[in-house]
Every structure is written in C-alpha cells, then in structure tokens.
Structure 1
C-alpha cells in the first residue's frame, strides 16, 4: 500500500494527461489542415501508462511522440526528414502566436533525435520524433532519425505497446471493463487509462533507477530495458509488493548471451538488442548489476520488516527513495485511512494479530477514546 501510494503521487494526473493529448492532437490537426498526411501518436511510457515524474529541477513530464511521414528511405535522408518536421513544427508555433492562441508551445528546439515542444506552464514538454514507415516490419514498424548515427534506426512503439498490454491479464481485463463502460472497442481505450500491477511495478523500478543514477545519468539503464525485463519476468501477481519482488528476482534470467554478446531482444522487433551498449561500454552492464542488487536488497529488507512497525517500513522506503516526499505523503495518507476506518468501526484485529478492514476478523478495534492526561468534561 505504501509503495502504491508513493508511486501514485509521481504519476501524471488524468487531467494533465488529457491536456497533453489535446496538445499533440492539435498539432496533428494543424498538419492535416495544411495538407500534411502525417500522423502523430504517443510512444514510450506515455503510451504504456508507466510515466514517472522526473527529479529534474523543473520536474516536467517528458512525453514522447512519433511523427510518422509517408515517405520511403530511398527518397529522403535522415537530415532532410529531421529538417522537414522541424520546419512544420516551427510554422505551427508561429501560427499559434500569430492567432493569439494561448495553448501553443512556448518553444520548439532541436535535439539529437527529436524536436521538443515546450509547455513549461503546464509542467510537460513533447518530444516529437520524426519517422517513416519500415516496410520490412508492417504495419507498425518505423525508421527513425539520429544525428549521431549514419544508419536509420528501427522502432515499433505500437507493436511494443501491444506486447506490453498482453503481458498482463489484469491489464487486459481492466481495459475491457473500461471499454464496456465507455461503450467503445477495447483497442480504443489507451493503456494509460488504467493502472495495473505490472504498470505500477514498472513505475517503481523506473523511479528507483532514476534516483539511483541521479548523478550518473550516462550509465542509467534505458526505461525500455527495465520495462522489457519487467514484462518478461512478470507472473501475473496482483499484490504490488509481491509482484515487484518477483519481477526483480526474475529479471537476470532474461539477459541472454548470444555469441559472447549480452542480449535482450525487443519483443516487437526481432534483431533489436536493448543491451547492445553493454557490449561497447562494460561500465553500463556493471552499473545495471549494481542497481539491480540495490533494489533487490531494499525489497528483501522490506519483506523482513513485516510486523516490525510502520515506522520501520517508512524509514526503509525513504532511504531507498531519497529526496522525495512521496513515501512520507503515502504514509500520512495511509495513517489517515486507518484513523477513519477505526473511527467508523470498520477496523478489526485478525487472530494473527494483524490489523485489517475485513469483517471476518475476530475482534473490532474500538473507537479512539483516550485524550491524554485529562479526559474531556461530561458537561
């Protein structure tokens, strides 16, 4: 409960999530109105529902998007594609300013692989990645630009999203329930509309890694690697702590050795290796191993703290996730929940001695009736 409550405070709110969707759909609409048969959609953690607020000074959410252009690699270079998308995004921003619209981006900046549209007042920015179809991986494969690499880079974010969705029966069930409630097709319900145990476990691992590598950004494992290993190791548990501990224990078995090279294959794009950099930079592999040992140790310590008091659990979590009030906020909220349950007579003591809200437990906990040294007057 503490882990779930803590990571929930770092999650993007449904309101802000919808604003972000409105903003990038507005870009797509503007492009369509200007004769561009381009498609813009979410990828990465925003698509998967595993966003975690960063610990950077601005604390802005980083929302990754794909801008797919119907072109062939024989007809356009990476540099031309990058420039073409940039010209249109700059034109979009100028049009917003010219019309006096207040919902446009405040900036449009070039990055290594993408263009970044800034919305600092809203607390997020949009990273727009130029791409073209990869005809060898239909229908969702992509070829991407990269200023530092000569060859086109491959990706398949929609295919990966489908794989991640299918790794959790719980997630599929929640999506079906959401679809029935909205009277729409399951495919029309974005994965980020719900939060499953697998999604929360991935958020916890990403949060821990973000803090662990706060001063060593170059060696921080990519989110896609953590997410893939978590998805492979997940065994369907619905208790968050049990699931996270099981995932961490199972992650190493999915790191292969192929012809002497470390290998974690993209489940949506055969041949793409998420640990390719480990073979070039051994320090990154060792850094991952150190992080993995750290989170495993933390979870083991938490498991052994069962029955030793809430304050010990909170202390362990605050040490593992430093520099954030997420754990403390979760503990305070949990304490308030317990107080309300006790005051309403819905809190019980099980025969094992554990506190529970189950009415099948042996004895109810009586309403709080002590007031310190002096009891209140009966007047």
Structure 2
C-alpha cells in the first residue's frame, strides 16, 4: 500500500517531535469504553479551553462587511481594466485567492493597520496579443494608473486609501490556454502537479519571464483538506448535544468554529506569529510568511487524515498540529524546503537558504514560543484564568473597557535573530 507524501512527512515528524504539550491532553479511555458520562465530564474540562480559543478566533476574523467591500473593490478593478484596455471583456476574469478564499484572513494586531486582499486577474490570451510577459504585465499597470497601482515582483499593489484593506493584484494567464511559444519560454523546473486544471502562468518581473503558479489550486487543497474530519464522531455528537454543559457557546456571526480545526489553527498560528513580531520575540522582517504556515499545517492535517489518525476533541488536534508543524520542514542537501503541493519544484522556503539561516531561526523561535504558550494555556483549569491567558497570548483586548485594551504579557528576551536585510 503506497503512502502519500503528507503521510510520510507526518510519520517522520512523529518520530522527531516531543511528547504532547501537556498531560492534560490524555485520551479519555472512558469514552472508548462507552462511559458517556465520563466523556461529558472531559468535554466540560476541554470546553473551558475551547471557549477561550473560539473567542480569540472570532476576534481576529475579518468581518463580512469588510470582505464584501473588498469584493466590490476587485470587481471595480475588473471594470477599470475592461474600460482602459482594448481587450474584450470576456477575456478578463478576476477572483480572490489566498486567505480570503480559504476563510483564514485575519486582522492585524496593530490597530488601524490594513489587511491585504489577494486577487488574480486571469486573462485568456487566445483573445489578445500577450506573448511578451513584460508588455502584458505593464499594460495591466498602465490601465490601473488612476488607482495608484505600484509594481511588485509578480503583482500590482493598489492602496485603496479610504478602505481598511489594500489589494495585491496578480496578472495571469491560464496555463492550458497559452501558446506553445509561451510555454517554451517558461521556467522548465516548475510544473503544475495537483489541481493542474487551475494552474496559471504569471509574470516574474526579475527574470522578465513567465512562471507557473496555482493559487486557486492551493486554496482548493486547503479547503478540501479542511473538510476531512479527524474528530471521533461519537465525541462530536456529545460535543454538539452538550455545548451548554461544556461551556462552549456559538459566537455570533462566527463563520469558522473550533470544530473546523485546520482553518482555526491557520488563523491562530498566523496571529501568534504577528504577536511574536510585535513583541520583539522574532524580527518582523524575518517572520515566517503565511504561505509556509498554511502549507505546513495543511500538510500535517492531510497526513494525519491519510494515516487514519483520530482525535477526541478539537483542542487535542490543535495541540498535535502545533507539536508536529516544525518537524515537517525538510532539509535536503543542506537546503531547507517547504514544497508547493500544487507546483512541482517551487520551494516556499527558498529565501531561508540565502540569509545565513535567519528566517529558519526565526521560524523555530516562533514555533517554540507557540508551543510554550499553548502548554501554559492547557495547564490551566480555572475558566477566567484560561480566558485571560488566551487574550494575552493572542493579543485580544479584555471584554470590559479601560486602558488601551492591550495585553500585559511580557515578551521573552533576547531577540531571536539579528536585523534582516529585507522582507520575508
């Protein structure tokens, strides 16, 4: 029987990882023996943690009104392109990508800081002349000049000064529609693998050539993996029937519940990373980029599912993801690797190999801090103390007024990494 790549990564990580973060997360055998009363008792115990985590998850989520405003913004961009270019309107389609499409977008812990909305502009070049990648890229920028678009490596940055977000807009071409001449000009080491039907060719401005990308495939991979349930059904039934008894109440307007553990983990871990950067635990310039966190967590979750692992509560699964995640990073021939599961040959950790190990050390310092913080939370038993500690760790204002609402937790010292030369 063949084993999937994610399963192999998890098996390797299980051999390298430490024990569970706390003895509080022991399997409650009473459930397996059919003693439902004991299971409910454990659900109540777990419920204090779950309630606090759910509150943090709700706080860091971006509101539906803001998401709707962002959707209107990228539709406006599409109309702007159609009006300013001589391309047929039917040749242009625009869609969100990244954290918006996987429901893992989070607010910044720095008050007033904008969040980013990633979008991709997909153009059918069978209807236009676009064999030259830089001409194609620059024509998009010229059409968006009135929106103050600024060129980045593969996208155009649009500030939307009066909105709480900015747009990063990537011009692209469906890979299955490009000409043979264009295909031959692309980097041969990058090939679409999983979800190949959504693969795109994007412009890589440093090389002035086309490069394979598959943002929609990445999003679909996360979404498909999140639908795989690792929590034992009998416990989830008890969890659903006894929410009040377990002190876990649904949060108003909550679109991702703690039972959707992969997405919650992505949200919370990204927030924890941002708090570590804010507190000086890691250098903001070398903090782990979101796509690495998403890839490692989704690979870990997928591998656990492929291996038939099961868990009795979302808190147990959250703990397992935190413990295994850092051990899924590969080091081959002295080079760190976090492979893009949808584009063969693309290494999301490529910059880790060009900075004397700064980004890797930053990643490991953050991972250890995350485990230490979760261990502290899961060692507590008093509901109010748990809630307070969760708010401190994830930078959530207290539920009552007063002061500036910022947590009082003191950051560890010294800093993990020296100053960096550029952004991660």
**Could you tell me the TM-score, scaled by structure 2's length?**
0.62
Counterpart Cα distance in 1 of 2:58 and 2:321: 19
Q: Would the alpha carbon gap of residues 243 and 330 (structure 1) be closer, same or farther in structure 2, given more than 3 Å must change?
A: farther
Matching of residues 159-198 of structure 1 within 5 Å: 159-169=217-227, 196-198=260-262
For the pair 1:140 / 2:224, whether they are aligned, the reply is no
Which of 339, 346, 352 is the aligned partner of 1:278?
Answer: 352
Structure 1 counterpart of 2:287, from 185, 197, 220: 220
Q: Alpha carbons of 1:143 and 1:193: their partners in 2 closer, same or farther (altered >3 Å)?
A: farther
Q: Deviations over 1:249-296 (max 9, x none)?
A: 111332223333222211111221122222222111111011000001
- Tell me what 1:364 maps to: none
Look up the SS of the partner of 1:298 in the other structure: helix
CA distance change for structure 1 residues 58 and 78 in 2, over 3 Å: closer, same or farther? Answer: farther
1:13: Cα distance to partner? Answer: 1.1
What is the alpha-carbon distance in structure 1 between the residues aligned to residue 317 and residue 172 of structure 2? 36
CA contact (8 A) 1:233 1:246 kept: no
Shift in Å at residue 117 of structure 1? 2.6
Distance in 1 separating the partners of 2:80 and 2:144 = 10
CA distance 1:122–1:247, shift in 2 (3 Å)? same
CA distance in 1, matches of 2:267, 2:313: 15
- Give how far 1:87 is off: 1.6
- Cα distance change, pair 329–198 in 1 and its aligned pair in 2 (3 A): farther
CA distance in 2, matches of 1:54, 1:171: 29
Of 50, 55, 62, which aligns to 1:5? 55
User: Deviations for 1:82-126, whole angstroms, at most 9, x for unmatched residues?
Assistant: 211112223xx5xxxxxxxxxxx6x43333432223334331121
Q: Is residue 128 of structure 1 aligned with residue 169 of structure 2?
A: yes
Counterpart-to-counterpart distance in 2, 1:143 and 1:217? 30
Q: TM-score, normalised by structure 1?
A: 0.68
- Aligned partner of 1:321 in structure 2 is 394
Please list the CA deviations of residues 278-329 of structure 1 after superposition, one character each: whole Å capped at 9, or x if unmatched.
2222111111011000001111111111x2x23432443344234x41xx23
Instruction: Summarize deviations over 1:37-67 as a string: whole Å, max 9, x none.
Output: 1221111111111001123453222100111
- How many pairs align? 293
Larger radius of gyration: 1
Tell me which residue corresponds to 1:377: none
Contact 1:6/1:329 (<8 A) preserved: no
Tell me the distance in 2 between the aligned counterparts of 1:238 and 1:210. Answer: 30
- Aligned equivalent of 2:216: 158
**Structure 2 gaps, min length 5:** 1-50, 177-190, 231-253, 306-310, 402-424
Q: Deviations along 1:145-201, whole A, 9 cap, x unmatched?
A: 3444455443201111121112123689xxxxxxxxxxxxxxxxxxx9655221111
Deviation of residue 142 (structure 1)?
Answer: 1.9
Whether the 8 Å contact between 2:102 and 2:219 is mirrored in structure 1 is yes
Q: Conserved in 1, the CA contact under 8 Å of 2:81 and 2:140?
A: no
C-alpha RMSD of the superposition: 3.1
Partner of 1:296: 371
For 1:238 and 1:160, locate their aligned partners in 2 and report how far apart those are by CA, in whole Å: 28
**Residues 8 and 265 (structure 1), Cα distance of their counterparts in 2 relative to 1, 3 Å cut:** same
SS at match of 1:213: helix
Contact 2:256–2:264 (8 Å) recurs in 1: no
Tell me the residue number matched to 1:373.
none
Q: Secondary structure at the match of 2:159?
A: strand
Q: Which residue in the other structure is 1:287 paired with? A: 362
Question: In the alignment, is residue 110 of structure 1 matched against residue 151 of structure 2?
Answer: yes
Q: Which has the higher contact order (CA 8 A, sep 6+)?
A: 2
Q: Is 1:249 aligned with 2:323?
A: yes
| TM superposition shift of 1:8 | 1.2
Matched-pair contact (CA < 8 Å) for 1:82–1:145? yes
Q: Do 1:165 and 1:171's aligned partners in 2 also have CA atoms closer than 8 Å?
A: no
Cα 1:171–1:44 change in 2 (3 A) is: farther
Distance in 2, Cα, partners of 1:217 & 1:78: 33
Give the conservation status (yes or no) of the 8 Å contact 1:132–1:142. yes
Distance 1:194 1:57 in 2: 23
Q: Offset at 1:68?
A: 1.9
C-alpha distance in 2 between matches for 1:278 and 1:123: 31
Whether contact under 8 Å (2:202, 2:210) holds in the other structure is yes
Specify the alignment match of 1:232 in structure 2: 299
